[in-house]
Amino acid sequence: MRHPPLLSSPLLTDAGASHGFFGRSGGVSKGVFTSLNTGLGSNDHPEHAAMNRARCAITLAIEPDRLLTLRQVHSPKAIIVRECWAGQGPEADAMVTRMRGVALGVLAADCMPFLFIDAEAGVIGAAHAGWRGALAGVLEATIETMRAEGAAPERIAAALGPCLRQPNFEVGLDLVEEFLTRHPSSERFFAPGATPEKRQFDLAGFGLWRLTECGVRHVDDLGVCTLARPDDYFSYRAGRRVGATDYGRNLSAIALP
């Protein structure tokens, strides 16, 4: 079986985490899902998505049935994983565990995928954060849930994988107002857009700031934009530009060996 390519974070590697940020190469899916689509909620052939997930799990030295993902709903909900499940899993957008040999995976196609580890406490986490989830507090909830399992924010190492970056993330003034209402100091994450009614949003910068506010001091941002590299990563916005009615999902996963 061919191992799909992945990006890794030196920070997480040094902390002893088995992890990877996978793109769209190295799988078996066809069409708009070519080729490593790992989203069970997409309209891809279920067997193809399962085979792609198995390839990712094996690359991480994890049994395929121990790669867990969630039914993501852009919420601030973070759960503690105490047992494995099959299929899409419970509704949540972040999860935390102390279990070894289990990979926590999040799916994204422009949203932020964050992976976390406190090596001393033996606690890992994974979070999916689009603008809705980030504004609602999913990153803060992830850190708080890790704390509940014995982690300390100052020991946590976090890494942000491929996501939509500021030059390609244009939003309306209504979204700006939502962020400023909740976080008045977040104005610095919005740059002028193509017209006076638009702004360019630094979602990654906002997410990294929220982690800093939670006491996380060790963060690695891989700096990859999904929309700028549609041949390498699934991107919801890239698909919309060409009229696609569905899209694949990039997997980001972490495990304690």
Cα–Cα distance, 125 to 120 (Å, whole number): 14
* 2 domain-assigned: no
Distance CA 211, CA 89 (A): 26
Position 221 in a domain: yes
Asked if 113 and 135 touch (Cβ cutoff 8 Å), the reply is: no
Side by side, the strands of the sheet bearing 170-172 are: 170-172, 198-201, 190-192
Q: Is the pTM value of this prediction over 0.75? A: yes
Whether residue 4 is contained in a domain is answered as: no
Instruction: Give the model's pLDDT for residue 248.
Output: 98
What is the CB neighbour count within 10 angstroms for residue 30? 12
Note the pLDDT of residue 3.
87
Six token digits for residue 158:
């976090």
In a domain, 119, yes or no: yes
Domain count across the chain:
1
User: For position 95, which CATH number holds?
Assistant: 3.60.140.10
Instruction: Please give the torsion angle defined by the CA atoms of residues 226, 143, 117 and 95, in that order, rounded to the nearest 10 degrees.
Output: -70
The parts of the chain modelled with pLDDT lower than 50 are none
Largest CA distance in the chain: 52
Asked if residue 24 lies in contact with residue 42, where contact means CB atoms within 8 angstroms, the answer is no
pLDDT confidence of residue 1? 60
Residue 237, φ and ψ in degrees, nearest 5: -70, -35
State the pLDDT at residue 2: 72
Range of the domain at 159: 9-165+202-251
